[in-house]
Amino acid sequence: MITQINETVEFLESKNILNPVIGIVLGTGLGKLVEKIDIEISIDYDEIPNFPESTMEFHHGKLLFGTLEGKKVLVMQGRYHLYEGYSLNQVVFPIRVFKKLGVQKLLISNAAGAINLNYEKGSLMLLDDHINLQGGSPLLGTEVKTLGNPFVDMSAPYNKEMNEKLKQIAVENDITLHEGVYAAVIGPHLETRAEYRYLKVIGADAVGMSTVPEVIAANHVELPCVAISVLTDSCDPDNLQPINIPEILALAEKAEPKMITLFSQLIKTL
């Protein structure tokens, strides 16, 4: 794994991806942030050595390097999900590469279902904490030890300072930004009514199929991170509607300008 990381870093540096400061992972339906970036380099995931081979989901998987709000940003336009059949180590591989390339802060977005029914569809939630229900860790084995202590402290997985800034930016821009606990499941199936009840009981405010592996890997290599969910559906077990994927994508897209404001204003302060 270490050899692969070094190989990938060397390749990206040879393509002039040098000194990125901020890393961004763009989730489902949240690709428009790239329109604000002055892009210098764009590489398909398929062309990057050791990046896992793309699946159908990944026709748009691209690594972008450029400038946003005066800062050098490295952006994953599309992420790897467990439900596509990748291992946890494959899912977090790009995060390890980001760190090695010099990325100092990581911003993550995703789409999630609202377990907390006071959080309305289409609104945003800042992750304050998470529950890992994906049944594994990207820190297994002996090789990860060379990247950092695998017994990573998770008392504050999301960077407090950046979270405070995001909350302030939300107030200044009249954006409703809830705060809560994100539960990560494997998917790709949605949850049953009983599972939604269970998620509520264990303290989740939102549920989705990503982000937690990346956050664990980021904490492992001491890369401060934040994450925001777009809440695309209401997970009400007493009135559960069949899932509507086009509606989820449309809601994510509609919430995008708010996400872009939060991320770009945050980057300005970093």
Applying CB under 6 A, which residues contact ligand HPA?
A: 111-113, 185, 190-191, 207-209, 232-233, 235, 248
Rounded to a whole number of angstroms, the minimum distance from the CB of residue 53 to ligand HPA is: 24
Return the number of the residue (26 or 207) whose C-beta is nearest ligand HPA: 207
Q: By the 8 A CB rule, do 77 and 109 touch?
A: no
Rounded to a whole number of angstroms, the minimum distance from the CB of residue 231 to ligand HPA is: 8
Cα separations (Å) of 83 from 40, 80, 99, 207, 240? 32, 9, 25, 14, 23
Q: By the 8 A CB rule, do 129 and 181 touch?
A: yes
Q: By the 8 A CB rule, do 20 and 72 touch?
A: yes
Return the number of the residue (140 or 245) whose C-beta is nearest ligand HPA: 245
The token duo for 55 is 């699946």
d(C-alpha 134, C-alpha 184), whole Å: 6
Return the number of the residue (179 or 236) whose C-beta is nearest ligand HPA: 236
d(C-alpha 167, C-alpha 57), whole Å: 32
Return the number of the residue (233 or 256) whose C-beta is nearest ligand HPA: 233
Rounded to a whole number of angstroms, the minimum distance from the CB of residue 261 to ligand HPA is: 22
Rounded to a whole number of angstroms, the minimum distance from the CB of residue 185 to ligand HPA is: 6
What SS3 string covers 158-209? CCHHHHHHHHHHHHHCCCCEEEEEEEECCCCCCCCHHHHHHHHHCCCCEEEC
Residue in the shown chain whose Cβ atom is closest to ligand HPA? 113
Single-letter residue type at 150 = P
Return the number of the residue (158 or 196) whose C-beta is nearest ligand HPA: 196
Rounded to a whole number of angstroms, the minimum distance from the CB of residue 111 to ligand HPA is: 5
Beta bridge partners of 76: 25, 63
Rounded to a whole number of angstroms, the minimum distance from the CB of residue 270 to ligand HPA is: 28
Return the number of the residue (151 or 194) whose C-beta is nearest ligand HPA: 194
